[in-house]
A and B are shown apart, each in its own frame.
Chain A
Amino acid sequence: MGMTVVEKILANHGEKETVEPGELVKARVDLILGNDITAPVAIREFKKIGIKKVFDPERVVLVPDHFTPNKDIASAEQAKIMKEFAREQEITNYFEVGRMGIEHALLPERGLTLPGEIIIGADSHTCTYGALGALATGIGSTDMAAAMALGETWFKVPSTIKFVYRGELNQWVSGKDLILFTIGEIGVDGALYQAMEFTGPVIRKLSMDSRLTMSNMAIEAGAKAGIIEPDEITYAYLEGRAQRNYRGMFSDGDAGYSQIIEYDVGEIEPQVAFPHLPENSRGIKDVGEVPLDQVVIGSCTNGRLEDLRIAARILEGKKVHPRVRLIVIPGTQKIYQQALKEGLIDIFIEAEGAVSTPTCGPCLGGHMGVLAKGERSLATTNRNFVGRMGHPESEVYLCNPAVAAASAVTGQISSPEEVS
C-alpha cells in the first residue's frame, strides 16, 4: 500500500523507506518557531540542557506577536528574554515590532515555510503551514527546547482523514466557511491524533490565503496537521519568496486513509460558530438575532490581504453601527502597507473602525480589544472558548471577514447580502 503525503514527509525526515500510522518516528525538523509567550519557557528549559548553541540559528524563528507591542511590564520582561536569546544565539529570523507580523501570517509571507518540510512551533496554530504542503504542527515549549538542541523530535505517525470538497462555492463563502463547516460536522476532537488532508476540485482552485485559513484551524478539530498538496497556486505563491530549496510531496493513489469524507460545497453558506466551541457552527440563515458590542477582523486565521480586501469591499462608503467597536488588524507589516496602498485602510477609518499594528492581541484576550462581562464579539479569529477574548462571561462568535464586516455595519450578526 502507498503512503499519504504526511506519511511520506515523516518517512523522508526519519530516514526510512516507509512508515505506518501508530509508529513512533524520530525525525529531523526544518524549522522551529516560538513566540513571546512560549519561547521564554523554552529558553529556560534549553538552558537546563547545558549546551551552548542551538542546532542551527537560521532554522529557529522567534516572533514577538502575542502581547506585543508589549502590553505591560510583565509582558515586556518576557519579550526581553526572547530578544536577548535571539541576539546571543545569532538567530537570523527574529522579527522585532515594526518588522514583525502575526507569526502564521509572517512565516509564509517570508518564504520560510515550504512544501515537503517538517515545521514545529510552540504555538498550536503552527498547522497553518500545511497549506503549503508542509507537515507543520504545534508543540509545547519543552519540545521546542529539545528540538532547538537536537534539530530533531519524535512523532507518532498519524492516520489521515481525507476531505474532498466538490461543487461550486456560494457567494461570500471562503476557506473559513469550509473549515468551520467541517469542524461542525466532525467536532472539536473529530480528527484527534490524526492528520487532515484537504483536497478536491474546490481546494485546487482556492486562493493561498483561503488555504492558509483552512489549515490554520485544523487544530480546532484536534488534528496534528491540516495539509494541502502543493500545486500551481502554491508554486506561484513561492516564486521569489522561498528561502530554501524544497521538494513537494504527494499522497500515493493507493494511500490508506482512516476515513474519506466528501462535501458538496454548494450546500455550504457562510458559517458562524456560536459560543463556546468552534464546532457550534451553523449557516448564516440560522443565526437569528445576535446584537454585538465588538467586531474583530484579523488574526493568524483571517488577517491576510484577501481578508482585508473582502472586508473593505463591504465597508466602503458605510459606517460601523454606533453600538459596535470595529477593530481591524492586518496580519503583517507588508499586508498593512499593501492595504494602505490599495486604499483599504482609508475605507476602514472612514467607516469609523480602528486599525492596529499587527498583533495576536484580542484573539486570546491579551490586549487591543478585551471584552467586559456580558459583552459579545464577532471575530474572524479561531477560538470562541469561555473567556477567550476577556471576561469569562463574555461571548465570541466566529465567522469569515465578509460576515464580520457586514455585521459591524448592522450591529448584529448579518449576512453580507443585507448590506451589499
Chain B
Amino acid sequence: MAEMKGKAWKFGDDIDTDVIIPARYLSTSEPEELAKYCMVDADPHFFNKVNKGDIMVARKNFGCGSSREHAPLSIKAAGVSCVIADSFARIFYRNSINIGLPILECADAAEKISQGDTVFVDLKKGVIKNETTGETFYASPFPEFMQEIIDAGGLIDYVKKKLIEEK
C-alpha cells in the first residue's frame, strides 16, 4: 500500500518501546494480542480509539529503548498505517522496515501536524499532506536498498527471493 489517509495521533519526544508495548504484555508474540496494549501507558484507551488507517505522529527518537519487534508489530496490528516522526531510534527503524510498517522521517510534518488532523501520505513519493490545514511536507526518501526490502514485502520475503535467485 503506497498511499494512506487517516486521523493523526500525536505523541511527544523519546517515546520508548516500554511505552509502545510494556514488557508485561510480552509473554505473547501474537500481533492481534499485542495490538490491544499498544501505547497503553501513554493512553490507556488508544487501541479502542484508533481506527484502521490512522497515522501516528511523534517527535524525536521515536521507539528508543528495547529491540522488541513487538513494538512495531503492535502498532501495525492496531491498525496504524504509517508513523511520522522527527527521528527514529535505529533498531525500531530497522524493525519497522523489516516487518512492513511504513515510517517516515520528517521533522517539519511531525512538528506542524496536530492531534486529530486528517493526514494523507504518498509513501513512494515521500509526500505528506495535512488535509486539515492544507500544508504539504516532503519526507527524506528511503535508501534504495531499503526500498527493495519494502518492495519485496519485508525482510523475510526479501531473503526468500534472494535464496531462490542464488539457486
Give the residues in chain A near B22, CB-CB below 8 Å: 365, 387, 392
Cβ of A40 < 8 Å from any Cβ of B? yes
Shortest beta-carbon distance, B46 to chain A, in Å?
13
Q: Which residue of the partner chain B has the closest CB to A141?
A: B69
User: How many angstroms from the CA of A388 to the CA of B20 in the assembled complex?
Assistant: 11
Shortest beta-carbon distance, A13 to chain B, in Å?
17
Contact residues, B119-167 vs A (CB, 8 A): 143, 145, 154-156, 158-160, 162-163
Among listed B49-57, B74-82, B87-95, interface-contacting one: B87-95
B159 touches A149 (CB 8 A): yes
A364 touches B66 (CB 8 A): yes
User: How many angstroms from the CA of A121 to the CA of B61 in the assembled complex?
Assistant: 21
B156 touches A222 (CB 8 A): no
Cβ of A64 < 8 Å from any Cβ of B? no
Give the residues in chain B near A37, CB-CB below 8 Å: 23, 26, 68, 70
Shortest beta-carbon distance, B142 to chain A, in Å?
11
A140 touches B98 (CB 8 A): yes
Give the residues in chain B near A45, CB-CB below 8 Å: 156
Give the residues in chain B near A126, CB-CB below 8 Å: 67
Tell me whether A140 and B94 are in contact in the complex, defined as CB-CB below 8 angstroms, given that A123-B67, A149-B159, A385-B65 are known contacts.
yes
User: How many angstroms from the CA of A119 to the CA of B35 in the assembled complex?
Assistant: 31
Query: What is the total number of residues of chain A having a CB less than 8 Å from a CB of chain B?
Result: 55
User: How many angstroms from the CA of A192 to the CA of B95 in the assembled complex?
Assistant: 16
Q: Which residue of the partner chain A has the closest CB to B61?
A: A189
Give the residues in chain B near A150, CB-CB below 8 Å: 159, 162
B65 touches A383 (CB 8 A): yes
Tell me whether A222 and B89 are in contact in the complex, defined as CB-CB below 8 angstroms, given that A74-B27, A392-B41 are known contacts.
yes
Q: Which residue of the partner chain B has the closest CB to A46?
A: B156
Partner of B143, one of A24, A74, A192, A277: A24
Q: Which residue of the partner chain B has the closest CB to A76?
A: B27
Give the residues in chain B near A124, CB-CB below 8 Å: 65-67, 91
Cβ of A122 < 8 Å from any Cβ of B? yes
Among listed A47-55, A297-305, A400-408, interface-contacting one: A47-55
A387 touches B19 (CB 8 A): yes
- Per-residue 0/1 for A147-165: is the Cβ within 8 Å of any B Cβ (1 yes, 0 no)? 0011000101000000000
Interface residue tally of chain B, by bracket?
Answer: 35 or more
Q: Which residue of the partner chain B has the closest CB to A72?
A: B27
Shortest beta-carbon distance, A136 to chain B, in Å?
12
User: How many angstroms from the CA of A192 to the CA of B16 in the assembled complex?
Assistant: 14
Of A49, A124, A386, chain B has the most CB atoms within 10 Å of the CB of: A124
B159 touches A78 (CB 8 A): no
B14 touches A67 (CB 8 A): no
Cβ of B99 < 8 Å from any Cβ of A? yes
A145 touches B91 (CB 8 A): no
A142 touches B155 (CB 8 A): yes
Give the residues in chain A near B19, CB-CB below 8 Å: 385-387
B69 touches A140 (CB 8 A): yes
B64 touches A140 (CB 8 A): no
B18 touches A192 (CB 8 A): no
Cβ of A275 < 8 Å from any Cβ of B? no
B29 touches A40 (CB 8 A): yes
Cβ of A75 < 8 Å from any Cβ of B? yes
Cβ of B28 < 8 Å from any Cβ of A? yes
Give the residues in chain A near B68, CB-CB below 8 Å: 37-38, 140
A385 touches B18 (CB 8 A): yes
Give the residues in chain B near A66, CB-CB below 8 Å: 23, 26
User: How many angstroms from the CA of A149 to the CA of B164 in the assembled complex?
Assistant: 13
A122 touches B156 (CB 8 A): no
Give the residues in chain A near B61, CB-CB below 8 Å: 188-189, 192, 222
Cβ of B7 < 8 Å from any Cβ of A? no
User: How many angstroms from the CA of A77 to the CA of B26 in the assembled complex?
Assistant: 12
Cβ of A41 < 8 Å from any Cβ of B? yes
User: How many angstroms from the CA of A156 to the CA of B19 in the assembled complex?
Assistant: 27
Cβ of B36 < 8 Å from any Cβ of A? no
Give the residues in chain B near A383, CB-CB below 8 Å: 16, 18, 65
User: How many angstroms from the CA of A338 to the CA of B43 in the assembled complex?
Assistant: 45
Contact residues, A366-381 vs B (CB, 8 A): 366, 370
Q: Which residue of the partner chain B has the closest CB to A77?
A: B27
User: How many angstroms from the CA of A364 to the CA of B70 in the assembled complex?
Assistant: 14
A222 touches B90 (CB 8 A): yes
User: How many angstroms from the CA of A291 to the CA of B6 in the assembled complex?
Assistant: 46
Shortest beta-carbon distance, B57 to chain A, in Å?
17
Give the residues in chain B near A123, CB-CB below 8 Å: 66-67
User: How many angstroms from the CA of A143 to the CA of B92 in the assembled complex?
Assistant: 11
Q: Which residue of the partner chain B has the closest CB to A390?
A: B24
B156 touches A24 (CB 8 A): no
Other than the given A37-B26, A77-B27, A222-B89, 20 more pairs (CB < 8 A) read A40-B29, A41-B29, A49-B156, A78-B27, A78-B29, A121-B67, A123-B66, A139-B67, A143-B94, A146-B158, A154-B145, A156-B143, A188-B14, A189-B61, A192-B87, A277-B14, A365-B18, A383-B65, A386-B18, A387-B41
- Supply 23 A–B pairs (Cβ within 8 Å), ascending by A: A41-B69, A44-B29, A45-B156, A48-B156, A49-B156, A51-B163, A66-B26, A124-B66, A139-B94, A140-B95, A142-B95, A142-B98, A145-B156, A146-B156, A189-B60, A189-B87, A366-B23, A385-B65, A386-B16, A387-B19, A387-B22, A388-B23, A392-B41
